Every structure is written in C-alpha cells, then in structure tokens.
Amino acid sequence: MSWNTSKIILVPIYLSVIPLLFLPKKTLAFFTKNTYITNNVISSGYWESFDFSTPVEAANSIRTLWLSGKFNTLYDNLAEDLAGIYTKEEFMKSLQDTHIKEFEIEGNAIYRNNTQAYVVTKIKYLDNKTQEYKTIFNYEQGSWKLLGTVLAD
C-alpha cells in the first residue's frame, strides 16, 4: 500500500476517533435510558452520574434531577414505601407544575438511625417565597432513597 492510499484510509479513522478523547468523564454512573442487557453486556443511549451514597449526596442528586425535570430517574430513586404509593406516570405528572426555582441544602445530614436520615432543604419558589423542609431518606439496597419531605420545625 502506498503512502497516499494509507492516508486516505487512516486520516478519516484518526479524525473519527479524536472526538472520543474529549467526551466528559463521569463516575458512579448508572444507565438511565434504553438499557439493554444481552450476554452480560450493558448498552445504553446515554448515562449520567448521580450519587446516592450519603443523604447529603442524595439530596444534591435529587436537586439536580428535579431542576432538570428528570422525574423518571427521580422515581427510580424513591424508597420502596413512597414508590408504592404512585405509579411512575402519576409521580411524574404530579411534579410537573411545582414552580420550584432552586434548592439549597442546609448543613449536614441528621441520622435517626443507621437506615434513616434527613437533610434540611430550603426550597425557593418562582414567586421568591422560601420554605424549609426535612428531606427524609431510607437506606435501601446500598443507597439512600427518597422517602418524603415534611416541613422543618
């Protein structure tokens, strides 16, 4: 093969591989769309990183999911008791018009025991009113799952 023929073949291959080096690197990822498992191989349309390893990290992940409107993924991270109340469609529909502008995590997690904790979250609405809630988490299946919220004292 001559050098000109090699360039015709190698340059397009090289140019198609280079953009892969600039893709963002994400850790602690789980698949969120079109997941297929075949012969121990997992493929997906895309993946995103959400951390539910501690109550504070779980609260931050919920903030990200909520503000980006990814209620489908949020539903997948509900505690069993809360997920048992709603179907995924009911849950997603109930959250679409909540008028929440921002979340702020206040301080550290308060542990009730080794399987339940809460984080105080200040929620700011579109009308600029704020309200503090205790966002409660259950430790289930190796991660902190959203159980619910109550008004903070």
Q: Is residue 35 part of a domain?
A: no
Separation of alpha carbons 153 and 150, rounded Å: 9
Q: Is residue 74 part of a domain?
A: yes
The model scores a pTM over 0.75: no
Query: What secondary structure letter does DSSP report for 59?
Result: H
pLDDT digits (tens, 9 = 90+) for 82-117: 889 989 999 888 887 778 889 899 989 999 999 999
Q: Is residue 60 part of a domain?
A: yes
Model pLDDT, residue 34: 46
pLDDT digits (tens, 9 = 90+) for 20-51: 445 444 333 444 444 444 445 444 445 567 88
CATH number at residue 88: 3.10.450.100
Domain of residue 96 covers: 53-153
Number of domains composing the chain: 1
Residue 7: band (very low, low, confident or very high) from pLDDT cuts 50, 70, 90: low
Q: Is residue 31 part of a domain?
A: no
Q: Is residue 95 part of a domain?
A: yes
Q: Is residue 8 part of a domain?
A: no
What is the residue-averaged pLDDT of the chain? Answer: 78
